[in-house]
Structure 1
Amino acid sequence: MSDAVVPAFSMAERDRRWDLARAFMDREGLDALLVFGEHEDAGPAPFAYDTWFTNGRAGTTVIFPRGGDPVVLFPMEMFARDHLESTRRGDTMWVPPRGIRSQRRDSHAIAATLDELGLAEKTIGVVGLDVYPPWHPEGIVPYGLWNNILERFPGADFRPVALALSRVVMPLGPEEIAVVRHSAGIGDAMARAMVGTAAAGVSESEVYAAGMHAGYARGTVPAAMHFWSGPAPLASGLPQWGYRPQAPRILRDGDVISAEVFCNFGGRHTQHQVTITIGEPHVNLLRAAKVARAAYDAGLAALRPGRTFGDVVDAMREPLDAADGWEFGPSVHALNPAVTLSGFPADAGRNIAGSEAYPPEADHPTINGDLELRPGMTFAFEPNYAFGQHLAYIGGTVVVGEEGAVELNPYTARILRAAGAVTPAA
């Protein structure tokens, strides 16, 4: 276990963010921001803009008047008790008790706070009404709540601003970069623990547990990882035994583990594509890995300040389009927050055996390709490619540096070989 100092956020980081929010409101002609946050157990790619303002538990609603400090609506009294206990222990709390409301965060609490702050007929930017890929194609705000607010405040001008605000949030400051690096290191440790555990005769759940334990032991609570195994797995999601009553698979010689590791440290997310082979990898898997690696390298070369996200997508597409296999999913998306996603053809729906029984898929367009890259932005590089039914999925977290890409996870940007002894499966 490393003895490295664990990074933290200071009050200077809070002031940097709050100043950015006030400047954003000035530019956009807003009197306030109304920020909805998703439940803290949302999993990967959470809608957690609220934590950017609070450095606290996810699942709150933030109302930030341009001329004052933010007010935070907690979903239950337990949040306030946790805040109090953290204060008693000497933690640095960004929002003082006077800025907290514990009467739930329903439409009545929001209305009371808007009235309290004199915002009943003002222009309010709303974070939560915009598209947020991949889980929220039409925002996260509940219909009943929002309908009540619109009826209660007919004189207010509510404007969706999450996409515009994301371009303020995405360039991370120095303290945030340190936290992302720490998260990336934990993610690598999780992948290494999985490699060290995987072997024929071992249960999938043991490999999964080894990875999660490495995250917990290093002081974070990672989101549940995506995990599939088999001779040639063509899926991406929670393991089947995570949502259906069935036993985990027992790994066999020749199997492949395809996993997405999601590490979250201090509200900053990193992502790690893990492909582990048990025994000798199939020749088509190695061929696919070469194509995926070429896309990865092309993306690294293109990820430079002043270029656009679409430029990166185009660069990564070149080696993919030139090969004669097929793509499984997107090759790159943004992190912190996840507001951009590369487009990809609907190859999976055409090339997986048995897919003809399912509704046809359409090609997937790139989302927010016009985003201009700025230093401090973070992205999940996850190029993937398949020959036949053999899929290679590699990559990790990459930061836009002052001069170009800063690669945080070269360890997972390749096929990994299981370290465990290969023994006959039971």
Structure 2
Amino acid sequence: MMDYASHAERDRRWAALRVAMREDGLDALVVAGSDFRGQKGGLRYVTDMQPFHRFGYAVLPVEGDPVAVLHPVLAYDTLSDWVSDKRFSPTPGSTLAQVIAAFPRHHRVGLVAMDQAMRVSDHAALVEALPMTRFVSADAMFERVRRFKSPAELVGVAEAATIADACFARLLDIARPGRTHLDVHAEMLRTATALGAVETLFLTMYSEKGPGGAVPRITAPAAREIAPDAPFCFSLELTGPSGHWVEFCRIVGFSGASAGEMAELCEASTTAGLRALCPGTVGREVQRALEEGVDPAFEVCPASGHAIGQDVIEQPMIVRGDPGEQTFEPGMVVALHPMIHSKLAGPLGYVADTFVMEAERPRQLSRFPRQAFMAL
């Protein structure tokens, strides 16, 4: 099997980042990461380290050896050897400033996740210690680089997709009316972990009656019972050992025709979106196609997908009216997840898939067809 954490993969990523840094006139790059879901991937992309607690930074100079500045508690973790210079500091902002000041050039430094994972106090310490250095957001540049997945990364993505498929097969064995969403959640955690999943995000989607019609819900699994006459939508989002996320969901039914009807609507929307999801397309065009593929009596969630990688949400986004101009291209991995509900009342449908962008068309990773599954 290909080693997705090899030094060859590390060197490929660093080289690609340094090319982009030179293009953007950056002397160094500071990548922030924390233990919060969605804020770990950048740090792992550069260092192959994922903080189990607190936070850390990677400093990549355009020339020379990188440095990791980490919270002291991470000294107790078993950390990757991608970066040999690891500094555990109770005052990371000051330590970052010392690291950057030692570089031959530090006129312009890019910050990744400055407005998400970087602590305000650390940013203030940098600015105070290095008043002649210009600190700029490098999020767009970073996304330009990491959106293209290497063959080694795609191995990790495929491994995660296999785990998600196995979880869904187990879900079909245990999901029954009267059991709770928490019951399913517990078994999905057990199954995913046993198969090598590292992180999980499991959600349930359903509709409730409100004063103005159906109210769609996306929630963490709770003690809510599975209804016998409504579609059961349990979303599986997880990473395999490589840290790459996948998303997967199918509609499960127990009686009646509503599950099949909602699955057909979701399939029509997904098919329309996939026709639009071709090289050179921006996300809002894909979202428009997803919405136009559905009967006007139904509403499609305005956010129906995004690129995906070592962060569960990466750029570009598939969102109604999104102004971004970053396009989808071969080599990217994309999550599509249209959620559809009646504008008046009735059931909700949600499906999710992870695709690899290829020259001809996106390639679905799951082995399960996009249809309703009846659990007996």
- Report the CA distance between 1:201 and its aligned residue: 3.1
Alignment of 1:20-39 (within 5 A): 20-39=16-35
Q: Does 2:306 match 1:333?
A: yes
- Report the CA distance between 1:118 and its aligned residue: 4.6
Aligned to 1:264: 239
Aligned to 1:117: 103
Aligned to 1:95: 83
Q: Does 2:221 match 1:239?
A: yes
**1:149-208 residue CA offsets vs partner (Å, 9 max, x unmatched):** 212211001110112220111110001011101111111111221121111232322211
One-letter amino acid of the counterpart of residue 34, structure 1: V
Return the alpha-carbon distance in structure 1 between the equivalents of residues 77 and 227 of structure 2: 49
**1:369-418 residue CA offsets vs partner (Å, 9 max, x unmatched):** x2122211111110121122311101210110132211112526333322
The 8 Å contact of residues 340 and 367 in structure 1, kept in 2 or not, is answered as no
Aligned to 2:212: none
1:315/1:386 Cα in 2 relative to 1: closer, same or farther (>3 Å)? same
Aligned to 2:224: 249
Q: Does 2:286 match 1:298?
A: no
Decide which structure has greater strand share.
2
Of 40, 59, 76 in structure 1, the residue corresponding to residue 72 of structure 2 is: 76
One-letter amino acid of the counterpart of residue 68, structure 1: G
- Report the CA distance between 1:314 and its aligned residue: 2.9
Question: TM-score if structure 2 supplies the norm length?
Answer: 0.88
Return the alpha-carbon distance in structure 1 between the equivalents of residues 318 and 274 of structure 2: 15
1:80/1:123 Cα in 2 relative to 1: closer, same or farther (>3 Å)? farther
The 8 Å contact of residues 289 and 385 in structure 1, kept in 2 or not, is answered as no
The 8 Å contact of residues 275 and 416 in structure 1, kept in 2 or not, is answered as yes
Local SS of the residue matching 1:404: coil
Local SS of the residue matching 1:51: helix
The 8 Å contact of residues 231 and 256 in structure 1, kept in 2 or not, is answered as no
Alignment of 1:273-284 (within 5 A): 273-282=249-258
1:392/1:252 Cα in 2 relative to 1: closer, same or farther (>3 Å)? closer
Which sits farther off after the overlay, 218-227 or 9-18? 218-227
The 8 Å contact of residues 277 and 417 in structure 1, kept in 2 or not, is answered as yes
1:10/1:105 Cα in 2 relative to 1: closer, same or farther (>3 Å)? farther
Query: How many matched pairs?
Result: 362
Return the alpha-carbon distance in structure 2 between the equivalents of residues 328 and 375 of structure 1: 26
Question: TM-score if structure 1 supplies the norm length?
Answer: 0.78
1:148/1:140 Cα in 2 relative to 1: closer, same or farther (>3 Å)? same
**1:228-276 residue CA offsets vs partner (Å, 9 max, x unmatched):** 5688883112124xxxxxxx23334224322221111212111112432
- Report the CA distance between 1:316 and its aligned residue: 2.0
Local SS of the residue matching 1:145: helix
Q: Does 2:141 match 1:164?
A: yes
The 8 Å contact of residues 343 and 367 in structure 1, kept in 2 or not, is answered as no
- Report the CA distance between 1:80 and its aligned residue: 5.4
Q: Does 2:22 match 1:67?
A: no
Aligned to 1:379: 334
**1:74-99 residue CA offsets vs partner (Å, 9 max, x unmatched):** 2124435523xx7xxxxxx3222xx1
Aligned to 1:310: 284
Return the alpha-carbon distance in structure 1 between the equivalents of residues 117 and 49 of structure 2: 20
Alignment of 1:126-137 (within 5 A): 126-129=111-114
Aligned to 1:52: 45
Return the alpha-carbon distance in structure 2 between the equivalents of residues 407 and 267 of structure 1: 19
- Report the CA distance between 1:104 and its aligned residue: 3.9
Aligned to 2:152: 175
One-letter amino acid of the counterpart of residue 374, structure 1: E
Return the alpha-carbon distance in structure 1 between the equivalents of residues 207 and 290 of structure 2: 28
- Report the CA distance between 1:139 and its aligned residue: 3.3
- Report the CA distance between 1:8 and its aligned residue: 3.4
Return the alpha-carbon distance in structure 2 between the equivalents of residues 236 and 386 of structure 1: 12
The 8 Å contact of residues 230 and 257 in structure 1, kept in 2 or not, is answered as no
- Report the CA distance between 1:9 and its aligned residue: 2.5
Q: Does 2:342 match 1:396?
A: no
Aligned to 1:223: 200
Return the alpha-carbon distance in structure 2 between the equivalents of residues 177 and 168 of structure 1: 15
Local SS of the residue matching 2:224: coil
- Report the CA distance between 1:290 and its aligned residue: 2.1
**1:18-49 residue CA offsets vs partner (Å, 9 max, x unmatched):** 1101111111111000111121xx23x44521
- Report the CA distance between 1:340 and its aligned residue: 2.8
The 8 Å contact of residues 379 and 399 in structure 1, kept in 2 or not, is answered as yes
- Listed as ranges, the gaps of 5+ residues in structure 2 are 210-214
The 8 Å contact of residues 289 and 392 in structure 1, kept in 2 or not, is answered as yes
